């Protein structure tokens, strides 16, 4: 199975500042069709996960453009600019290249 | 808007089975696959499998073959997951999610807590 490793496990951010979360995959997530099958999800406290970014850099519907995704074949970054209170929660990366789809362990974002 | 309404919490005995449901609304049911994901404190998020709501075809994580069985009832826009031969390790929150073939988890249900205890 493809292992997704996230760092850091937790991050504390001052509102209005930016935050970056890293994710590394154990093999390339770049398909021969040119698409990189890495995704980002946010699970707010007491809620279900929600899709933020799909195929590495595409913003899901309704997600503020303060969120952005980037990366290479195995190293990926979620950046949140101008962090707000509503961004608190656990962020997960995930891969949909191979079965079984797998997720990282999560990064908890808190406010200072 | 897309909504996935899951059934209520389950308390089950070891060795028994449970069947949880996921009713979709706000879109054409057969336009999206329905996937199932297990969440525990220790193991995080685990992909169980998906069902093609149009054809009924399924894709399972090998780990959950024999444990989970996915079905759909197109007439009621509802997907089901049966978990069999339950053990305490099956205690978790189970989510359904709907999405396209290359996104799978666009929309999530509210989750169902399954507790296995004697």
**Cβ–Cβ of A50/B108 closer than 8 Å?**
yes
Q: In the numeric block, which tokens belong to residue B58?
A: 């399924």
Q: Does B42 touch chain A (CB under 8 A)?
A: no
- A75-80 sheet: strands from edge to edge: A4-7, A19-25, A75-80, A67-71
Beta pairing partners, A111: A13
In this structure, is the dihedral angle defined by the CA atoms of residues A35, B46, B41 and B96, taken in order, positive or negative? positive
Q: Which residues of B are less than 8 Å from A104 in CB distance?
A: 44
Chain A touched by B95 (CB under 8 Å): yes
- Cβ partners under 8 Å of residue B43, min gap 6: none
Please check whether residue B44 touches A, CB under 8 A. Answer: yes
Torsion angle, alpha carbons of A106, B32, B5, A67, to 10: 40
Residues in chain B within 8 Å Cβ distance of A60: 106
Six-digit token string for B73: 């009832």
Q: Which value, to the nearest 10 degrees, does the dihedral of the CA atoms of residues A18, B45, A40, A55 take?
A: 160
**pLDDT the model gives residue A107:** 97
Name residues whose C-beta falls within 8 Å of residue A78's C-beta, 6 or more positions apart in sequence: A20, A21, A23, A40, A52, A53, A67, A68, A69, A91, A93
Nearest to A103 among B44, B59, B108 (CB): B44
- A102: contact with B, CB 8 A cutoff: yes
| Of A111, A110, A112, nearest in space to A9 by CA | A110
- CB–CB of B47 and A101 under 8 A? yes
Residues in chain B with CB shorter than 8 Å from the CB of A35 are 102
| Pick among A63, A103, A107, A108 to test the B interface (most B CBs inside 10 A) | A103
Spans of chain B, pLDDT less than 50: none
The pLDDT of residue B100 is: 87
Contact A100 B44 (CB under 8 A): no
A12-66 pLDDT, tens per residue? 999 999 999 999 999 999 999 999 999 999 999 999 999 999 999 999 999 999 9
Residues of B in contact with A50 (CB under 8 A): 108
Q: Is B32 on the interface with A (CB under 8 A)?
A: no
> Distances in Å between the alpha carbon of B18 and those of A76, B69, B95, B115?
38, 11, 14, 10
């Amino acid at each position: 199975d493809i292992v997704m490793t996230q760092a850091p496990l937790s991050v504390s951010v001052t509102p209005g500042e930016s935050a970056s979360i890293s994710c590394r995959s154990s093999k390339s997530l770049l398909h021969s069709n040119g698409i990189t099958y890495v995704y980002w999800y946010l699970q707010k406290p007491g809620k279900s996960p929600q899709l933020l970014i799909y195929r590495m850099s595409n913003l899901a519907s309704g997600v503020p453009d303060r969120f952005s995704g980037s990366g290479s074949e195995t190293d990926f970054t979620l950046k949140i600019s101008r962090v707000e209170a509503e961004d608190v929660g656990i962020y997960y990366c995930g891969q949909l290249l191979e079965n079984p789809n797998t997720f990282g362990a999560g990064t908890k974002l808190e406010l200072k | 808007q897309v909504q996935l309404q899951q059934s209520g919490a389950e308390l089950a005995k070891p060795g028994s089975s449970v069947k949880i449901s996921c009713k979709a609304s706000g879109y054409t049911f057969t336009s999206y696959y329905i996937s199932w994901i297990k969440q525990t404190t220790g193991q995080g998020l685990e992909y169980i499998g998906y069902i093609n709501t149009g054809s009924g075809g399924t894709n399972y994580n090998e780990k959950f073959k024999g444990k989970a069985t996915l079905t759909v009832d197109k007439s009621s826009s509802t997907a089901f997951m049966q978990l069999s031969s339950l053990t305490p390790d099956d205690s978790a929150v189970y989510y359904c999610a709907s999405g396209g073939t290359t996104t799978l988890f666009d929309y999530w249900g509210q989750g169902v807590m399954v507790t296995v205890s004697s």
